[in-house]
Amino acid sequence: MKTKIIIGTSALLLAVVPNLIGQNLFPNPGALPDLLAYDQPQAAAPADADSMGGGQAREDQTKGGLSAEELAKIAQNPVANMISVPFQNNFNFGVGPNHVTQYVLNVQPVVPITLNDDWMLLTRWITPIISQPSPAPGVPSAAGLGDINPTLWLAPAGSRSLIWGVGPTFTLPTATDSMLGTGKYQVGPSVVLLTMPGHWVMGFLANNQWSVGGWGPHTQNNFLIEPFCNYNLPHGWYLVTDPVITANWTADHRDMWTVPAGGGIGKIVKLGGKLPVNLRLEAFDNVCTPRNGASWQLQFTIQFLLPKELFTK
């Protein structure tokens, strides 16, 4: 029954939302609802080199600039050379003994900075906004800002068959409630590696962070890996799986891992015939989860892509 609900919801949303946009019910980007992933290393992008990052993208010289598939590949590439602003909505079902639904909106803009002809610096800030009902008897509910996670990747501007980026990632204890963050400053290395043969975009993003100070009571040592695989279809549609797998190395072995399994569909649309927007809907079953963790997840992302043509015309 759960599988039927997930598939039906996915098909309904991705059929209805593009049609609403096409009917200009949202006359400008600011009128769209703010919707977007937990680290999902989402797409990134700069503003002046080859827009797929690594020089793979080629400008479509026909009317409309980049093709729908090229825009989809940019949205699927964490170190693409184009500014992007994803809003990732995460619904985590079955949290705690009360089996509540936790909502996390990740606002995670990616801004590339061209250093020279050979190198670029990608910056991504993940700002989580969380609504957490009481997960257990005697535990209060909480809502507000979570811990902000900035990441910097240094990437070659001309890489082609193999695209990569490497740099530091940080967690800042910005949570407005102790229930929503760790109270620790954290730092560690981050790496992203991918390739884009034919209609495919596949690779992984990984990092590990250690606490280096702060007022929280618990030492932090956290690992994250996000393998991703996208297959692009005609007319801007694509299939995607990109589970965010995490490990808390300081936890009991029964509570150490969160391993989701699942995927979804996405589509590139254009607002007003100009502004590219990536819409994506995914569902994941947590096949391995801490004892009080979520049983499954639903994720809906709206990602605005800002190609340089928007600023030069």
Q: What is the pLDDT of residue 312?
A: 65
Domain ranges in the chain are 2-312
Closest-CA residue to 280 (of 8, 1, 42, 23):
42
Tens digit of each residue's pLDDT (9 = 90 or more) over 241-279: 999 999 999 999 999 999 999 999 999 999 988 899 999
Tell me the pTM. Answer: 0.80
CATH topology of domain 2-312: Porin (2.40.160)
Percent of the chain scored above 90 by pLDDT?
74
Question: What does the mean pLDDT of the chain come to?
Answer: 83
pLDDT digits (tens, 9 = 90+) for 207-225: 999 999 999 999 999 999 9
In the block, tokens 């996390």 appear at 104
Residue 51 clears pLDDT 90, i.e. is over it: no
Mean pLDDT across 141-151: 98
Q: Cα separation of 169 and 206, whole Å?
A: 10
Predicted local confidence at residue 160, as pLDDT: 74
Tell which wins on pLDDT, 285 or 38: 285
End-to-end Cα distance, the chain: 50
Confidence (pLDDT) at 54:
43
pLDDT for residue 161: 85
Distance CA 130, CA 41 (A): 18
pLDDT digits (tens, 9 = 90+) for 124-138: 999 999 999 999 999
What is the structure's pLDDT at 10? 45
pLDDT 10s digits, 1-32? 444 444 444 444 444 344 433 333 223 322 32
- pLDDT tier for residue 66 given thresholds of 50, 70 and 90: confident
The residue written with tokens 């001309």 in the block is 158
Burial class of residue 74 in the structure, from the number of CB atoms within 10 Å of its CB (0-12 exposed, 13-18 middle, 19+ buried): buried
Nearest residue to 263 (alpha-carbon basis) of 55, 23, 63, 37: 37
For residue 159, the model assigns a pLDDT of: 72
